Copies of this chain bind each other. A is one copy, B any other.
């Protein structure tokens, strides 16, 4: 009975195998993969943006775990302080300890220290929302965000993930990726039309990225959120790898494309360049 189902090798086994219905595709044939850890993290990720707390049953449903497993994992996470439990309603919420991870990430990354003062001064000078996003595979993830007074899109916060192809910061990084990497990322990308103006045609996008390289910065108008436009320029690490981008997000109500191109383009380029300069000697991966 040991056997461990080595894929198609179990002629001796009485044809059971089948309905093990492993919930996680990755669990099956990777002997180094610790399933319990994956499940536990899945529980944490089950907490979406809902304002109400989750009951055990709902957590189980969202993660695909059975009640017993959900019970064990919520219990463990509560003990460790990552979840909080309302003893009265018996529901769970994420605890402030979840912020620890962001802190560790930001502090362990020179990008944060270097970019913060620059982001702030650009924001204050132009009174527009400024952010720095890093590329994570096919997504652009907001790492720093300083909202302006007039346009506070509060559904954006640190950690927000958007498909790179349709946001300015994402495109700024994509444009400077080595060709084969750009191709690889776009191959993995799932092109979805987020607004009527989203570019979902691969060829169009590639042409756009080429133009971005010529311009030195990326511009996007209403391709991710209606009413928003953004301008972004790439940030490079010490090996000239594009790892992030600094972007200004504003409203189509305040700027025309032409104005933005003319005025904000040079601003983001300069700011991003200043950050890259301070990142000499840093190797990201």
Contacts and interface: CB of A to CB of B under 8 A. Distances in A.
Contacts of A254: none
A51 to B, nearest CB: 6
A14 interface: yes
Nearest to A244: B96
Nearest to A51: B110
Interface string A5-45: 01111100110110110000010001011111111110011
6 contacts: A7-B20, A49-B104, A86-B285, A98-B102, A101-B159, A102-B102
B20 A108 contact: no
A33 to B, nearest CB: 5
Interface stretch (A146-154, A185-193, A199-207, A210-218): A146-154
Interface in A132-159: 134, 136-137, 141-143, 146-149, 152, 154-155, 157-159
A76 B38 contact: yes
A155 B109 CA distance: 11
A8 B15 CA distance: 8
Contacts of A100: 45, 159, 161
A107 interface: yes
A62 interface: no
Nearest to A92: B285
Given A20-B7, A120-B152, A136-B95, A106 B158 contact: yes
Contacts of A49: 104, 107-108
A266 B85 CA distance: 35
A84 B116 CA distance: 23
Contact of A155 (B71, B107, B108): B107
Interface string A102-138: 1111111110110011001100100000000010110
B112 A154 contact: yes
Interface of A: 1, 6-10, 13-14, 16-17, 19-20, 26, 30, 32-41, 44-45, 47-51, 53, 71-73, 75-77, 79-82, 84-87, 93-110, 112-113, 116-117, 120-121, 124, 134, 136-137, 141-143, 146-149, 152, 154-155, 157-161, 282-283, 285
Given A30-B79, A73-B37, A157-B112, A98 B95 contact: no
Contacts of A95: 105, 136
A285 to B, nearest CB: 4
A44 B49 CA distance: 23
Contacts of A136: 81, 95-97
B40 A160 contact: no
